[in-house]
């Protein structure tokens, strides 16, 4: 029947959406230990890779809109995790730089990926499965980013 296409259980997107929400929830106890939210953690991971980066680069890496990231960066600046400043090269651009406090948080964050990975593994799912899924999801990200680049 045609209506079966509209059943939630038949949707590809719903398990991905639900898994994403549950993984974010699984991060919570680990992030609580270092006083971060998941979105803050994502921003800090970008900055731990490349300190002093433009807001536009952060939005690109995290695949978020500026109107989503700007309030987050503002809150993080109030928490003294980062500093925002106008670019000297392009006044329209805002750069973001880690504070010493945020640099020190990296030590507490180092074990988090491994802790989370352990929560994903069981007798039915091994590391190879997780890595294969990650590769496939990265391919879907490329495909969907290309096909949706003009939609907003």
- pLDDT over 70, % of the chain: 99
Q: Do 79 and 63 have their domain in common?
A: yes
pLDDT at position 151 is 82
Q: Do 62 and 122 have their domain in common?
A: no
- Domain for residue 100, yes or no? yes
Q: Do 99 and 51 have their domain in common?
A: yes
Q: Do 44 and 87 have their domain in common?
A: yes
Q: What is the pLDDT of residues 46-81, one digit of tens each?
A: 999 999 999 999 999 999 998 999 999 999 999 999
Domain span including residue 89:
34-109
What average pLDDT is seen over the chain? 94
- Domain for residue 6, yes or no? no
DSSP class per residue in 38-79? HHHHHHHHHHHHSSSEEHHHHHHHHT--HHHHHHHHHHHHHT
Q: What is the pLDDT of residues 110-137, one digit of tens each?
A: 999 999 999 999 999 999 999 999 999 9
Domain containing 93 — which CATH number?
A: 1.10.10.10
pTM tops 0.75, yes or no: yes
**How many folded domains does the chain comprise?**
2
- Domain for residue 145, yes or no? yes
């Amino acid at each position: 029947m045609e209506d079966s296409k509209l059943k939630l259980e038949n949707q590809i997107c719903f398990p991905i959406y639900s898994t994403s929400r549950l993984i974010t929830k699984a991060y919570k106890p680990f992030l609580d230990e270092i006083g971060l939210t998941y979105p803050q953690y994502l921003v800090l991971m970008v900055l731990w890779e490349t300190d002093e980066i433009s807001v536009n680069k952060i939005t690109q890496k995290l695949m978020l809109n500026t109107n989503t990231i700007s309030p987050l960066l503002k809150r993080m600046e109030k928490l003294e995790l980062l500093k925002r400043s106008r670019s000297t090269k392009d006044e329209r651009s805002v750069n973001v730089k880690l504070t010493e406090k945020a640099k020190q948080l990296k030590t507490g964050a180092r074990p988090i990926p491994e802790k989370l990975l352990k929560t994903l593994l069981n007798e039915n799912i091994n590391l190879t499965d997780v890595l294969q899924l990650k590769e496939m999801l990265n391919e879907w990200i490329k495909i969907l980013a290309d096909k949706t680049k003009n939609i907003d």
